[in-house]
Structure 1
């Protein structure tokens, strides 16, 4: 079930040169929140490992792996190419993730990291056989969208998290998976899960005390002019809501593959002007104007000068001819 090393065929797949090349849905607001929670825990030397249930092509896993300490363990659990073992879940897998393969995940992850995480290939319900209780400080649940599976994942993660560990639930409000919403809020109202904050796609909560995290998060949000936020109350408990549509992404994991250099297109040759009469070349200063040119100048002068001047010129020309 667990395999830490990728097979050689993974190296033959296309290699992403940046995180945005990896398929998946991991928006700026959630990148900022993952970054903030993981850094906040590390700054306070919060002990614990990392866990992700449902990896797709590895986008969020790659991000989490870049924030992991060297003495920590990162476990990723996903069906990948395995059968779902029940009819309803198999139908969802075939519809939504027909192209999902473990090799693609491994190739993507190894484009950014030297080693794979601990991979559990199977249903998320088996994760407790591979991860110790009270050992996880940050868990991301993004596996099945079916109510009974999400409910089971939440209960499993509750046992795996440390006292102040943080759990993230994806698609808690998406219209195409109401089972996730039902399981999320049921955990809040009946399973002791306490909300910290929400983005447009993910719910962040803890079974510990959310107040210190919310206080620190609000201080950080107030310093960010590019992240909108507000505080709402649910059953008299505060909940931070935030959006980061105009914010920049946090520091991204660096791929070991360089982007192909763009070869500049050759400059297009200047087009020749359309065929037509050539303009007269400029004449060096001091050279006399030919006779034909003088006659043209005289004609122009006679047309534009005042009549009295024109008559004087005509009279002078007649006298000059008479004297020849």
Structure 2
């Protein structure tokens, strides 16, 4: 996961918010949350580690009346131990609570409940057995992730869903160890795996897996494989290049393109026709040194258009 940089501009769309929330995970979050809502599942939403709010903004869109959405993050504050402080300085130096709140309020009328503290406090701040969806994306250190998973187990409803970020990233082996330890020894049952995240439950994963498989098989923009491992059915999905995130409301700062602005090209738009190059021009581009090729292109582009023949 590369380190994103905070932006001082107000976001107009969700993808304008800096952070690491790929389109495939936006699809999975949206589908799982809407599935809960369609079945009348009620409960709190919780995010441990929010960065600049990209995933929190989507989660907040699914908070219903009477449900509490809690976000817990250090927001650049003092970490509880030396290793955590070093990680915070390296990856999150640009993070501030003000930047998170500005981004969130661009899309929502009010903030979630914000706890500016290490994730270790969450068990004292949220009642056990009250959450339907927990997203863990705080520390990358094994001991912290292990404890965050334990807290999620206690806070979730019996069939609630937990999402673990960076469970197989090259630079976060502590997350991988804590995640698979939970699967092998602590009763966590995987629902599916994306490139960055493991989606799981301490309930029965089979009903949601069957519906998820049906949804994914209908999408041409996702790859899919199913593999057994240690008594678990692992549904692995990956995004194709043409995948797009699900529709999401614009922020209050969004400005539609004006009449003088050219619309952004899409994958379905037809590119403008190109004049075929002569054989000699193709050979020049292929064989001449780059500096000569660039000079030739400039000269050709500056040449006035050839007049049309009479008649």
Report TM bin, short chain: 0.7 to 0.9
Name the CA distance, whole Å, in 2 between partners of 1:233 and 1:87.
39
Please, which runs of 5 or more residues in structure 2 have no aligned partner? 1-7, 262-301, 306-311
C-alpha distance after superposition, 1:247-292 (max 9, x if no partner)? 2210113201123755848xxxxx9x89xxxxxxxxxxxxxxxxxx
Name the CA distance, whole Å, in 2 between partners of 1:253 and 1:168.
23
Name the CA distance, whole Å, in 1 between partners of 2:246 and 2:167.
23
2:282 alignment partner in structure 1: none
**Is the aligned partner of 1:35 residue 2:26?**
no
**Is the aligned partner of 1:252 residue 2:271?**
no
Instruction: Please give the root-mean-square deviation of Cα atoms over the aligned residues, in Å.
Output: 1.7
User: Does structure 2 retain, via aligned residues, the 8 Å contact 1:66–1:253?
Assistant: no
Output aligned runs, 1:1-324, within 5 Å.
Answer: 14-245=9-240, 246-259=242-255, 261=257, 264=260
SS in 1 for 2:107: coil
C-alpha distance after superposition, 1:118-140 (max 9, x if no partner)? 00110000011111100000000
Q: TM-score, normalised by structure 1?
A: 0.76
Q: TM-score, normalised by structure 2?
A: 0.79
User: Does structure 1 retain, via aligned residues, the 8 Å contact 2:191–2:234?
Assistant: yes
Bigger radius of gyration among the two = 1
Name the CA distance, whole Å, in 2 between partners of 1:177 and 1:258.
35
Any runs of at least 4 consecutive aligned residues in structure 1 with deviations exceeding 6 A, and if so which?
A: none
- CA shift, 1:81, in A, is 2.7
- CA shift, 1:239, in A, is 1.1
Please, which runs of 5 or more residues in structure 1 have no aligned partner? 1-12, 266-270, 275-324
SS in 2 for 1:111: helix
Name the CA distance, whole Å, in 1 between partners of 2:224 and 2:120.
35
- CA shift, 1:225, in A, is 2.4
- CA shift, 1:236, in A, is 2.9
SS in 1 for 2:127: coil
